[in-house]
Structure 1
């Protein structure tokens, strides 16, 4: 069964936050020779400018976007502008109610908290954002993990952690063996030259 997978984008969004997970879902499509519908959604059809300066045209605006089966909410260096956009928060809340899976990467968790889906749940975010989220006292914020699964809400830590989260979700949707094939196709075997201690996932 094909799925509709929506990626929220906006001015200032961090590129890897959405391009990393999108690449994982694309590789899954390619290996299965099936076509989950992967699409970018923004407040208008005008191209957005990412944090790093790339111009990205959305596929849909909020009014025209199909309701997704999976929602991916990426983060930015500062989520405050997005938290002040009622139309963005409304769309995220509505899309999340329709979703089987609602996900965020990095500071995208702040958007999910403001829009409602993350309230009262266990979440994580970029390490620079976790204390601010904890001060809101609206969710249980988990430290030092790559991603947190709370029922059908999945939040990841910063930036590259979205790839881990997406691989886990592909495994849930299509089976662990297929997720391993996706990881192999992407040659995703992280071996950074400088190691920091962290753990994997919380369920």
Structure 2
């Protein structure tokens, strides 16, 4: 299915974690679009947000890590929006992503050449840094002043999150129009029955 051209939900430009959470999109008719469905798509998503170079060479293992973090962030956002306790595994995943990144090249020892410093595999390091950045943003969003505004889109079947602004309950005008049309249809069918 073609990737939909949806505008970013309110807050996505300020919060990478919100953009990541919204990268799996439920559409009408039971269709879904995963903007991270393949390694190339995951690489493109990270590149568009300045988290990876175009030629990072993302492999499926790395793309799966990005998708996994997305699901943990979605779980935390759902808990926050509904006022429910968070799953401990989701909290642990965010903390793990934030602390997994080495802050300096690691010390290695070669029996012949002696000690030297090196960084881990370049692509893995890129993904780890990207995940740490997004996880830190999620932690900041969940604990910061915008946390009270975090909500799920009010239009079925949309599964995106947004930062509520005023009376707006939808992630996009498309979802708002769909919700208004559904209400109008319900009124017409009630009055015609």
Greater gyration radius: 2
Q: One fold, TM greater than 0.5?
A: no
**TM-score between the two structures when normalised by the length of structure 2:** 0.27
**TM-score between the two structures when normalised by the length of structure 1:** 0.26
**More relative contact order, 1 or 2 (CA 8 Å, 6+ apart):** 2
Larger proportion of helix: 2
